[in-house]
Structure 1
Amino acid sequence: MSGSVTSIWRHPIKSHGRERLDRITMIPGHTMPGDRVWAVAHEASKADGSEWAPCANFSRGAKAPQLMAISAQLQGDSVTLSHPNRPDLSFEPDVHQDTFLDWVKPLMPADRAASARIVRAANRGMTDSDFPSISLCNMSSHRAVEQKLGRDLSIARWRGNIWFDGLPLWNEFDWIGRDIRIGEAVFHVRERITRCLATTANPETGERDADTLGALSSWDHQDFGVYAEVLEGGTIHTGDEVQVL
């Protein structure tokens, strides 16, 4: 039994925008190229970019739902951000931090720690896992959540990297400890992804409007998707086969 890739996504700045890709070349032991290259540390954070840090150190959609409505484009060292309530911003995160902080300030709740600086972890993306991970998400599981809530949902709520279809719902949870081939790349699936309030926000509006966590709880868990690490590098295209080895 196998599925196929339906879409590929990266998030250049953690929690600040998504970008859809037609293909990507994976590197063994690394996060997806261009994914979570930067993260936005808030004023109470001790993260300085010298090493990986947990998500609580950063401005994120769980605390600031308007961030979920950002889309992004990465070109070299420059990122262009778009949001329905803000003008587009093109800047270099390593250079123009003040420009970004001014742009994002209206999207941040007044009762949360303010965004303070952009950090860049050495040699890996600032994913939520303490190992360099790729997130794999199942369209069948997504449709089950939609059915439970009785409404259409954007897959952007889940901020996944590689989406696939053609396999049963929650089949991905059976992959823990197993290897998966997607296109030319091979992954080792390590753990399920426990979800947070970020998924309750609409990626078009930034407003909380769906009880995704309540829907997941009806299956006696709060998980969606799995984290995997890259064992063998190679290029992945939309439409490539997803095969359990």
Structure 2
Amino acid sequence: MLRIGVISAINRYPVKSFAGESLDACKIDTYGLEGDRCHAFFDETKEGWDSFFTARDIPDMLSYKAKYIGDFTGSGIPRLKITSPEGRDFGWDDDLLTEMQRNSKKKMLMRSYQTQNPDLKAVDEGSILIITDTSLRLLEEIWGKQLDERRFRANIVVKAEGSGYSEKDWIGKRLSIGSAQLYVDKYCDRCSMVTLDPDTLERDGSLLRKINEEMNLNFGVYASVEKTGVIHAGDQVRLESP
């Protein structure tokens, strides 16, 4: 095993397109981070990924912060606490639906995923999204501006060491982190979500253009779970030798 870095941040997003929660530790279950993107707003007239309401169309979704209150028990999901930008607290309930419906003329519905099947969660293309600080700094140089890692909504941020930063070398290989083992499936193809500042919600399309021109829209990698376990901030990240 080749040590390629350590975990500098763990992020979980209980509600698709809402701001998430930073964790010191998290269980890696068969579907990804425990509780990640297990709630979403959707349009029943559409299918697949297009059925979800996201910050691509409703940027204000990013200003709502979601976190779990309590512990996970079996297949059960603890209750959610959602805080609006005005400081008002909501649960995953009709009051929140009424609040969010003001942002769209289309009828919004709510969905919770109580399953551990990764194909039935509100994810786009993969179970766990990983980025490195080295790639982030490289993109800053390309773009010419400072970047907030929250733009990329990664579940795991790796502080890379030595030559281990190149995510392209990870694809098709295994990563050992804490007591879990992941398989790196593919690059993450970026969309307009990254153009939104996570605090001001201002758009800057030049960032996505640079990612397209210089990185072929690839930033970060998706990984699936081969072995469940627990990860902690500061854990070593090791790449399986070829």
- Give the RMSD, CA atoms, in angstroms: 2.1
Helix, strand or coil for the counterpart of 1:102?
A: helix
Return the letter of the residue paired with 2:216. Answer: H
1:169 Cα deviation after fit: 8.6
The Cα shift of 1:115 comes to 2.4
Tell me how far apart the structure 1 counterparts of residues 187 and 45 of structure 2 sit (CA, whole Å): 29
1:218 equivalent in alignment to 2:220: no
Regions of 4+ moved over 4 Å = 167-170
1:117 aligns with 2:97: no
Instruction: Say if 2:95 is the partner of 1:102.
Output: no
Q: In structure 2, the residue corresponding to 1:164 is in which secondary structure?
A: strand
Q: Structure 1 CA distance, aligned partners of 2:87 and 2:101?
A: 13
In the alignment, is residue 22 of structure 1 matched against residue 17 of structure 2?
no
Match of 1:231 among 201, 226, 231: 226
Amino acid at match of 2:110: R
Amino acid at match of 2:90: S
Question: What amino acid sits opposite 1:205 in the alignment?
Answer: T
Deviation string 1:61-116 (CA, Å, 9 cap, x unpaired) is 222222223322111432222343x333231x2xx2x211122234x355xx3423
The match for 1:87 is 87
Q: 1:39 to 1:162 in 2, by over 3 A?
A: same
Normalised TM-score (structure 2): 0.85
> In the alignment, which of 159, 162, 166 is matched to residue 165 of structure 1?
159
1:14 aligned partner, one-letter code: K
Give, in whole Å, the separation in 2 of the partners of 1:70 and 1:154: 17
Q: Is the 8 A contact 1:6 1:163 kept in 2?
A: yes
Query: What whole-Å deviation, never above 9, does each CA across 1:8-37 have from its counterpart, x for those lacking one?
Result: 00000111221100011212x322101011
Q: Say if 1:66 and 1:207, in contact at 8 Å, map to a contact too.
A: no
Measured in 2, the distance between the counterparts of 1:160 and 1:193 equals 10
The one of 75, 78, 84 aligned to 2:69: 75
- Is this contact kept in 2: 1:5–1:163, CA < 8 A? yes
Q: C-alpha displacement at 1:211, in angstroms?
A: 2.6
What amino acid sits opposite 1:224 in the alignment?
Answer: F
SS at match of 1:63: coil
Over 3 Å counting, the alpha-carbon distance change for 1:160 and 1:61 in structure 2 is same
Whole-Å separation in 2 of the counterparts to 1:210 and 1:69: 19
Shift of the 224–187 alpha-carbon distance from structure 1 to 2, 3 Å rule, reads same
For the residue of structure 2 that corresponds to 1:39, the secondary structure is strand
Per-residue deviation, 1:121: 5.8
Contact 1:144 1:169 in 2 (8 A): no
Aligned equivalents of 2:114, 2:175: Cα separation in 1: 27
Instruction: Provide the rounded CA distance (Å) in 1 between the counterparts of 2:39 and 2:154.
Output: 17
Is contact 1:190-1:227 (8 Å) kept?
A: yes
Deviation at 1:184, TM superposition (A): 1.6
CA contact (8 A) 1:70 1:81 kept: yes
Gaps of 5+ in 2: 71-77
SS of 2:6's equivalent in the other structure is strand
| Residues in 1 aligned to 2:164 and 2:62: alpha-carbon distance in whole angstroms | 25
TM-score, normalization: structure 1?
0.84
**Identity percentage of aligned residues:** 28
Task: Indicate how the Cα distance of structure 1 residues 220 and 166 shifts in structure 2: closer, same or farther if over 3 A, else same.
Answer: closer
Partner of 1:40: 41
Moved more, 60-69 or 168-177: 168-177
